[in-house]
Amino acid sequence: MGLKLRKIVIIGAGHVGTMCGLSLMYRGEVDELVYIDIDREKAYSQALDLDDAVSLFPHQITVRTGDYGDVEDADVIVMAAGVSRLPGQTRLDMLDDSIRIMKEVASHMQGLHIPGILISISNPADIVADYLRKQLDLPKNRCFSTGTSLDSCRLRRILSQKMHLDRSSIQAFVMGEHGDSQMIPFSAVHISGKPLLQWMKDDTVRYGKLDLVQIEEETANAGHEVIEGKGSTEFGIGIALSEIVRSIFHDSKKVLPVSPLLEGEYGQYGIHAGVPCIIGKDGIEQVIEISLTDKEKEKFENSCGVIREYISHIS
């Protein structure tokens, strides 16, 4: 019996969807990559361009365009459809356009058998994931957003630069909305097992002046900075998505910050928000609840309140 080929369908052939596909290809995490886009000519051209690269890969990959029927035997579906965020826009400013697009996409997928795991990247990420899960009637473990996974990469970069330490030694993540109301549980940030707050206390000369408020603001604004400079973000989210997919295909049980449906965890019900989760072959296998300080709980609750408010605006 041959090995099962891993099929991934990416809906949306723009900057983000294409970079996600390329990241998956480079990391050897896909055997068949299928693009679906309302602009079929663009999807075809993107797939053809990616397919040219396969000639120099050490492994064979099929890259092609398809239709919504392809989701019925896909292992993973990546939702990357949407409009680009403009300079000065927040992710929540994109809500109306994103839901209009999601309604169109969902209309093609409703009634189809969807056995795979749907990972949404489209912004506003938490709200779109909630909408798709409801419209497609998918179980919570198989429909979620990348959430704060990219924000967490940005946080580690910023901490690494400010502390002059290798970012691979930093264990840190962002929680809440993938947006301006996100928060950082600094009490849970560790560098090689030692709490960040202890580093600041033990070495006041080198680390005591770290401005945690500024770090939180820089992390939240990192996406805006990229948008202002080049018009889109693509590389970071491509790798973040491929890391999630890798944990699924290898059943790695890796703990990653994504945006699942919360049903009582952290005292939140009925919304998607960024929290650390165990990711394995069935998607989200467990939401990890960490201890938060009272101030951190307040910030997380505020962020969830923002998500909840915007979900209520969807008709």
The catalytic residues are 178
End-to-end CA distance of the chain: 49
**CA–CA–CA angle 247, 67, 246 (5° rounding):** 5
Q: What is the DSSP string of 103-151?
A: HHHHHHHTTS---SEEEE-PSSHHHHHHHHHHHHT--GGGEEE-TTHHH
CA distance 189 to 85: 30
Q: In 10 A of CB 296, how many CB atoms?
A: 18
Size of the chain, expressed as the number of residues it contains: 315
CB contact burial 200-237 (16+ within 10 A = b; e otherwise):
beeeeeebeebeeeebbebbbebbbebbeeeeebbebb
Contact at 8 Å (CB) between 6 and 30? yes
Both tokens assigned to 269: 């019900």
* C-alpha dist (Å) from residue 49 to 22, 43, 147, 215, 242: 10, 10, 29, 39, 19
- Three-state secondary-structure class, residue 46: helix
- Three-state secondary-structure class, residue 84: coil
CA distance 226 to 211: 22
Tell me 87's DSSP state.
T
Both tokens assigned to 295: 């101030």
